[in-house]
Amino acid sequence: MSKMTLNIEGDTHIVVTRHFAAPPDVVYRAHTDPDLIQKWLLGPEGWTMPVCINEARPGGKFRYEWTNGKGHQFYITGEYLELVPHSRIVHVERMHLPDPTPDNHVETTFSAEGDGTLMRIRMTLPDAQTRQAMIKTGMEHGMEASYMRLEKMI
Amino acid sequence: MPCFIVDAYERYLTISIYLYKLNLMYSELVLDARFSALADPTRRAILAQLAKGEATVTELAKPFEMTQPAISQHLKVLEDAGLIDRRIEGTRRPRRLAKDGIEAMDQWLAMLRKAFEKNYNRLDKVLAEMEPNQKGRSK
């Protein structure tokens, strides 16, 4: 029903879109209320977010810590640059593994679409090199070949 | 397929771990060319065509209604970017997709999609719970 798209744009952007069956104010709240974030921003089964600090105001900081209960853990820190209630969030974030990755600049917008919401995330990586390095790693750890998927992508 | 999702997510994490190392290890020029090569719609169409099977310059020039030199120029850009290579067969030089170059981009996107989809499927449920009036599954 709600198909997600994820594509690259230009040299340094990644764009994600997703439709949700809830109005923008509700989807926005699910992205800014730490109690709600803790329920869904978890990755695969088995991972939890024991620490979720989220100051959803311009200049506010956030820190999400994940663990899989088997000794693997990592965290993300970030700062909010701009928040327009129910329609727009701009923030920067980086992963700590524990060394920080380069900053990822993220703009998220929520707009009404039918009875629901169209969310659009536009990530800007610091330079083409970072995104390219990410892609190169994908090859390093090669998954199954899929030329069919390529056709859809291009 | 939970195993696959976990696997994809761990790759997602692995990406970040290796970011710095990779920056040092690999030639940025090659990768940069790869994306510049994709910026052109004709070259994307050529790749899509080659995804169906190898083809010679003459065969490629036909559907695109372009001259052979014009097609050859596009093919050179794609070749330099590592996205296609050529096979030698007598006097023929059929072009084909270069497995590694294409896979690298495709795989990375697929992996990232998995990680995001998992979260958003979960968010769907959270949203349904937030709206008691809304018809939907409650858990």
Q: Where are the domains of chain A?
A: 5-153
Predicted confidence at residue A132, as pLDDT, reads: 64
Question: A30 vs B127: CB contact, 8 Å cut-off?
Answer: yes
Predicted confidence at residue A99, as pLDDT, reads: 67
Q: How far is A89 from chain B (nearest CA, A)?
A: 17
Q: Is residue B134 part of a domain?
A: no
Predicted confidence at residue B118, as pLDDT, reads: 83
Confidence of residue B6 (pLDDT cuts 50, 70, 90): very low
As a whole number of Å, the CA-based R_g of chain B is 21
CA B113, CA B107: separation in Å to the nearest integer? 10
More confident residue, B29 or A6: A6
Name the residue range of residue B57's domain.
2-115
CB-closest option in B12, B44, B122 to A40? B122
Which residues of chain A neighbour B102 with C-beta distances below 8 Å?
147, 150
Assess contact for B95 and B51: CB atoms under 8 A: no
CA A80, CA A38: separation in Å to the nearest integer? 18
Mutation target vs B (from A117, A150, A151; most B CBs, 10 A cutoff): A150
Q: Is residue B125 part of a domain?
A: no
Query: For A43-63, how does the pLDDT look when each residue is reduced to its tens digit (9 = 90+)?
Result: 666 778 899 999 999 999 999
Question: A150 vs B100: CB contact, 8 Å cut-off?
Answer: no
Predicted confidence at residue B39, as pLDDT, reads: 61
Query: For B62-76, how does the pLDDT look when each residue is reduced to its tens digit (9 = 90+)?
Result: 887 888 899 999 999
| Residues in chain B, total | 139
Residue (of B124, B126, B3) closest to A46 by Cα position? B3
Report how many domains make up chain B. Answer: 1
The rounded percent of chain B whose pLDDT value lies above 70 is: 56
CATH number reported for the structural domain that contains residue B55 in this entry: 1.10.10.10
Q: What is the dihedral of CA B114, B103, B37, B86, to 10 degrees?
A: -160
Q: How far is B67 from chain A (nearest CA, A)?
A: 23
Q: Is residue B123 part of a domain?
A: no
**Is pLDDT of B134 > 50?**
no
More confident residue, B119 or A109: A109
User: How many cross-chain Cβ pairs, A to B, lie less than 8 Å apart?
Assistant: 179
Per the omega criterion (within 30 degrees of 0), is the bond before B2 cis?
no
Q: Is residue B132 part of a domain?
A: no
What ipTM score was computed for the predicted complex, to two decimals?
0.73
Confidence of residue B49 (pLDDT cuts 50, 70, 90): confident
CATH C-level class of A5-153: alpha beta
Q: Is residue B128 part of a domain?
A: no
Residues A30-34 have a mean pLDDT of: 94
CA A96, CA B97: separation in Å to the nearest integer? 37
From B3, which residue of chain A is nearest by alpha-carbon distance?
A44
Question: B130 vs A44: CB contact, 8 Å cut-off?
Answer: no
Q: How far is A131 from chain B (nearest CA, A)?
A: 9
Q: How far is B104 from chain A (nearest CA, A)?
A: 4
More confident residue, A69 or B133: A69
As a whole number of Å, the CA-based R_g of chain A is 17
Decide the pairing of beta strands A116-124 and A104-113.
Answer: antiparallel
